[in-house]
Amino acid sequence: MARITLDKLRHSYMETPAADADWALKQVDITWDDGGAYALLGPSGCGKTTLLNIISGLLRPSQGRILFDDRDVTAFAPDQRHIAQVFQFPVVYDTMTVYENLAFPLRNRGVDKATTDKRVREVADFIDMTHRLDERAKGLTADGKQKISLGRGLVRTDVNVIMFDEPLTVIDPHLKWELRSKLKELHQRVRLTMIYVTHDQTEALTFADKVVVMNEGEVVQIGTPVDLFERPQHTFVGHFIGSPGMNVLPCTVDNGTVYLGGDAVAVANDAAGAAGGSLEIGIRPEFVRFAESGLPAHVVKVSDAGRHRIVETRCADQTVRMLIAEGVEIPADGVQLAFDRANTRLYADGWMVGGNSVAGGAQ
Amino acid sequence: MTLELRQIEKTVGMDVHIHPTDLVLEAGGFNILLGTTLSGKTTLMQLMAGLDRPTGGRLYFDGKDVTGMRVQNRNVSMVYQQFINYPNFTVFENIASPLRVARMGDAEIKKRVGAMADLLRLSPMLDRKPAELSGGQQQRTALARALVKDSDLVLLDEPLANLDFKLREELREELPKLFADRNCIVVYATTEPIEALLLGGRTATLHEGRVTQFGPTGDVYRNPKDVISAKVFSEPPINTAVIRKTGDRVALGSVAHWACPAVLSDKPDGDYRIGLRPHHVTPIAGGAEDGRVKISGEVLVTELSGSESTVHFKVGSETWVSLAHGIHSFGVGEVAELYADLSRAFYFGADGALIAAQEIGE
């Protein structure tokens, strides 16, 4: 296993990139510590697959370096990097048995029979496939095949990093829970460096100790799940993480006081630091509640999400969503809303006013 | 408008794909088929559409027997999980294609496609080819094509499954609006309980080719009639365990015991099954006075999402899941003390049928 450093990486698929938009990766500096569980999270087209391909060596970056510990591997071919990868769709040899599939990466590298056998059985036990080792992979369901793919990713012990590229997308929700917690459990036991690439916030947040959030070729924030939830540095992070995402409400600031419509709203950061630009209040639906006196609003729609309800309100001509727990009554019309001050923040041009830089809690 | 399935079944060789099913679907609100992969959702939809012939039973549309009528002669649209569009057609021509088949005039086609593109925010893309669109736009094109003609029956087979999480959230909110003022029967298949809940309407839970329950979505979620329906409609999966009633006490192995609930009080001593959704088992301490009981177990893994904590832990031979707001971290192997809210418990008989839930709030 190794510490992985991405040093001033930039990449463009064009020959002579000029404009900012020509860069698929604008500039990325990240250090992933040895043995950590990381996620790379962002929407389609944010550059996460480009970054993954650069780390695995399938793509040579236009600029910058990749270091494994202190060794520069930028010019290394994929097979010289000792990386295990698990893809979105199962990569399984149908004609081989489950055992042979799991053994394949080891046999390929001339690992001796006894060691191979031991590893295959350990991994099979982990993915609950011990009883099916002699079956042909062909007869397995999509879930079963993806388990074999995971197993093959985990079977080598000499890898620098294991990378997962949307590994659970084709898996049913019930099994997703099972496989995801298995991966997490495995990580807590063996402490391998793992990088998990996904657009699914739940997978990223529950798997990783630290999440790298990307948008439009840039890293927007690196932090623990709690950082990203409680202190989004950018409205994109606030919106992208959480379901529904953070309410982002255009506002005005006068003399250090923040106003939503005509009403003053107390915020946690120092509004006086806002030097113009487009100003917005960010507050998560979890931190809005009904109050005796507060911002006047009316309820537009209540959606039942089972363990809570998502209440859509109109407040100061804007949509404000709130999460209301099971059993809490929703007042009829003419409601008042209170924003929890500690979790209400002012953003200027998307960035939290007085916030840290992108890599706030990077290392 | 109604679509009625009477004892519809499908067997292939010795395999039963759909057990005899009775179901009456109506216009207005979504009819959701909720179940895992291979539970029979797609087969059931194909039978409804006439894409597949049932091996038994009859299908009625507005009282008229349409069993065996070919899909071409029925007024049906279907949207699949994979974004299916004509790659060589522009977005405009993709959306227009069913109208061209129906030999509609150019002016009317232009009007309808324009309106549909507006609704699905595709207007700026009308001249592009599908390959130049994002996944969300491709699926919106497929949806627009399905909606542009006034179908009597619209079948949506996991239409959002291949989309990014955030896009899914967005389209899920838009979809019911698209159908709000249409007179058609909408059937929507999904594997995700949360999606069924947010779409509302009515839900049929499916398990191994059988509809186990059908009713208003919230009712099916809160009052599952048996342990299978409860499992299908629960994410994370519902926690279950065998409990034993002895006189006026019930015991969950050696893990916990509590006063026999009213619903079981007149039942004979013996084994029953308890069901508790993960958000009703939390680290929030409590005792008998507030209807809680302590359930301790060895922690397998804790997942922190920032706003919620999920703890997987051992209860006897079962793995249970606790889901709570806030940050509650437990180490692997640690014995966690968690508390079950018994007022939310479901009690099932040996056959899996719900005996009766404790009174449920709201």
Q: What is the pLDDT of residues B20-29, one digit of tens each?
A: 999 999 999 9
Residue B206 sits in the same domain as residue B316: no
B362 domain-assigned = no
Q: Which of B232, B262, B285 is the last residue of a domain?
A: B232
The closest CB to that of A326, out of B36, B235, B362, belongs to B362
Same domain, B306 and B325: yes
- The pLDDT confidence band at residue A363, using thresholds 50, 70 and 90, is very low
Last residue of a domain, one of A177, A197, A230: A230
Specify the pLDDT at position A359. Answer: 47
Tell me how far CA of residue A135 lies from CA of A89, A101, A153, in angstroms: 20, 11, 20
Distance from CA of A154 to the nearest CA of B (A): 19
Are residues A17 and A136 both part of a single domain?
yes
Q: Which chain B residues have a beta carbon less than 8 Å from that of A244? A: 169
Co-location of B204 and B296 in the same domain: no
Q: Is residue A360 situated within a structural domain?
A: no
Q: Are residues A282 and A202 in the same domain?
A: no
* Nearest to A179, CA basis, from A145, A213, A215: A145
Positions of E strands within B66-209: 76-79, 153-157, 185-190, 202-207
φ/ψ of B85, rounded to 5, equals: -135, 165
The answer to whether residue B255 scores a pLDDT higher than 80 is yes
When divided into structural domains, chain A yields a total of 2
Check pLDDT > 80 for residue A2.
yes
Residues A211, A293, single domain; the answer is: no
* Residue A358 within any structural domain of the chain: no
Would you state the pLDDT for residue A356? 61
Please indicate, yes or no, whether residues B185 and B249 belong to a single structural domain of this protein: no
Residue A181's alpha-carbon distances to B153, B208, B312, B346, in angstroms, are 40, 26, 8, 26
ipTM metric? 0.86
* A153 and A22 share one domain: yes
Let me know if residue A361 belongs to a domain.
no
Residue A236 belongs to some domain of the structure:
no
Contact call for residues B340 and B293 (beta carbons, < 8 A):
yes
- Residue A359 forms part of a structural domain: no
Q: What angle do CA A199, A205, A211 make, to 5 degrees?
A: 80
Contact B134/A45, CB-based, under 8 Å? Answer: yes
Assess if residue B105 is contained within a domain: yes
C-alpha closest to that of A222 among A28, A10, A352, A2: A28
Residues of chain A contacting residue B277, judged by C-beta atoms under 8 Å apart: 306-307
Q: Evaluate whether residue B353 is within a structural domain.
A: no
User: In this predicted structure, what is the pLDDT of residue B361?
Assistant: 44
Q: What is the mean pLDDT of residues B28-56?
A: 95
CA dihedral A108, A109, A115, A121 (to 10 degrees): -40
Residue B43: partners with Cβ closer than 8 Å, 6 or more residues away: B10, B17, B18, B52, B209
CA of residue B216 relative to chain centroid, distance = 12
* A272 and A158 fall within a common domain: no
Over residues A15-21, the mean pLDDT reads: 88
Taking residues B61-75, what's their average pLDDT? 91
pLDDT in tens, A323-360: 998 888 898 778 999 999 999 999 999 999 987 655 44
pTM here? Answer: 0.89
Residues in B closer than 8 angstroms to A184, CB to CB, are 301, 303
Both A119 and A46 in one domain: the answer is: yes
Domain count, chain B: 2
A273 shares a domain with A185: no
State mean pLDDT over A115-124: 94
pLDDT digits (tens, 9 = 90+) for A207-222: 899 999 999 999 999 9
Residues A96 and A214 occupy one common structural domain = yes
CB B36 to CB A172 under 8 A? Answer: yes
Contacts of B278 (CB under 8 A, 6+ apart): B234, B236, B237, B238, B239, B310, B320, B321, B322, B323
How would residue B166 be classed by pLDDT, with cut points 50, 70 and 90? confident
- The answer to whether residues B7 and B76 belong to one domain is yes
Note whether B227 and B243 are same-domain residues. no
Surface-to-core class of residue A162, CB atoms within 10 Å of its CB (0-12 exposed, 13-18 middle, 19+ buried)? buried
CA dist B186 → A320, A359, B181 (Å): 29, 47, 12
Q: Which structural domain range is residue B317 located in? A: 239-348
Query: Mean pLDDT of all residues in chain B?
Result: 92
CATH of residue A250's domain is 2.40.50.140
β-pair partners for B58: B6
User: Do B218 and B288 belong together in one domain?
Assistant: no
Within this chain, do residues B289 and B333 fall inside the same structural domain, yes or no?
yes
| B178 shares its domain with B318 | no
* Greater pLDDT, A89 or B201: B201
Inside any domain, residue A237: no
% residues pLDDT > 90 (chain A): 67
CA distances from A224 to A52, A206, B227, B307 (A): 20, 10, 37, 12
Q: In this complex, how many residue pairs, one in chain A and one in chain B, have their CB atoms less than 8 Å apart?
A: 109
Distance from CA of B9 to the nearest CA of A (A): 24
Q: Residue A174 — pLDDT band, cuts 50, 70, 90?
A: confident
Tell me whether residue B360 is in a domain.
Answer: no
Q: A230, A261, A286: which is the final residue of a domain? A: A230
Q: Does residue A287 share a domain with residue A334?
A: yes
**Best to test chain A binding among B37, B233, B319, B329 (most A CBs inside 10 Å):** B37
Nearest by CB to B164, from A43, A188, A245: name it: A43
Do residues A252 and A173 both lie within one domain?
Answer: no
Q: Which residue has the tokens 């060789």?
A: B13
For chain B, give the percent of residues with pLDDT over 90.
71
Higher-confidence residue of A213 and A255: namely A213
B254 and B227 within one domain: no
Owning domain of residue A66: 4-230
Cβ atoms of B33 and B188 within 8 Å: the answer is yes
Average pLDDT of chain A? Answer: 90
Q: Cβ of B193 and A172 within 8 Å?
A: no
Range ranked top by mean pLDDT from A17-21, A87-91, B165-169, B321-325: B321-325
Beta strand pairing call for A83-86 and A71-72: unpaired
Out of B181, B214, B232, a domain closes at B232
Asked, for residue A306, whether it belongs to a domain, the answer is: yes
Domain final residue, candidates A198, A230, A262: A230
Residue A208 distance to chain B (closest CA, Å): 9
Residues A279 and A171 in one domain: no
CATH of the domain at B45: 3.40.50.300
Which of the four pLDDT bands, split at 50, 70 and 90, describes residue B357? Answer: very low
* pLDDT for the residue numbered B217: 97
Task: Say whether both B245 and B227 belong to one domain.
Answer: no
Looking at residue A306, its amino acid is: G
Q: Which one of B232, B252, B273 terminates a domain? A: B232
More confident residue, B294 or A126: B294
Residues B145-159: tens digit of each pLDDT: 988 988 999 999 999
Residue A61 and residue A180 share a domain: yes
B219 and B297 in a single domain? The answer is no
> Residue A112: which CATH number?
3.40.50.300
The Cα A283–Cα B152 span in angstroms is: 43
CATH code assigned at B299: 2.40.50.140
- Residue pLDDT, tens place only, B281-311: 999 888 878 889 999 999 988 888 888 999 9
pLDDT at residue number B147: 87
Instruction: Tell me, yes or no, whether B357 lies in a domain.
Output: no
